[in-house]
Amino acid sequence: MKKLFLISLILMMPMFAQASGGPSIKLDSMEADASDKGSLQRGMQTYVNYCLGCHTAQYQRYIRAAEDLHIPEDLVIEHLIFSDQKIGDQMTSAMDPKLAAQWFGATPPDLTNEINLRGRSISTPIF
C-alpha cells in the first residue's frame, strides 16, 4: 500500500509543480483607443450582431449610441436594428431571461455597465 501511495505521489509531482506557478502563458495585450471612432463603430456593429442576441444593454438607447458614435440614424435603422424596436428604444435582447437561465444556467448579464464593474472609470467624456 505504501508503494502504491509513493508511486502515485511521484506521478503527481509534475502536476503540483505546474499548479505552483510554473512557466506562465504569454497573453496578448490590448490598448483601447477611445478616440478611434471607426473602431468604436465596428465594435457597436459587432455587439449588435453577436452579443445582443443574449446580452442586453438595457440602460443604453440606440439613438444615444448613434449620436455618441456619429452614426447617422438611417444607417442605424437599416443595419443595426433587426427587430421591431425603434431607434429611441433601449437595447434589449429578444431572449426570455427565464429561458436563458434555463439554457445557460444563469441569465446573461446586462453589458451596459460592464466597464464600471471591471473597475474602469468612464466619468470623463471620451469624445
Per residue in 30-88, pLDDT (tens digit) is 777 878 899 989 999 999 999 999 999 989 999 999 999 999 999 999 999 988 899 99
Q: Which grid cell is 100?
A: 436563458
Q: Find the distance separating the first CA and the last CA of the chain, reported in whole Å.
A: 70
Please tell me whether the overall predicted TM-score, pTM, comes out greater than 0.75 for this model. Answer: no
* pLDDT at residue 73 in the model: 94
Measured in residues, the chain has a length of 127
Q: What percent of the chain has pLDDT over 90?
A: 42
Per-residue confidence band for 124, with pLDDT thresholds at 50, 70 and 90: very low
H helix intervals, 31-72: 37-46, 62-68
Q: What is the mean pLDDT of residues 87-108?
A: 92
Core vs surface per residue 71-106: b (16+ CB within 10 A) or e: beeeebeeebeeeebebeeebebebeeeebeeeeee
* pLDDT at residue 121 in the model: 47
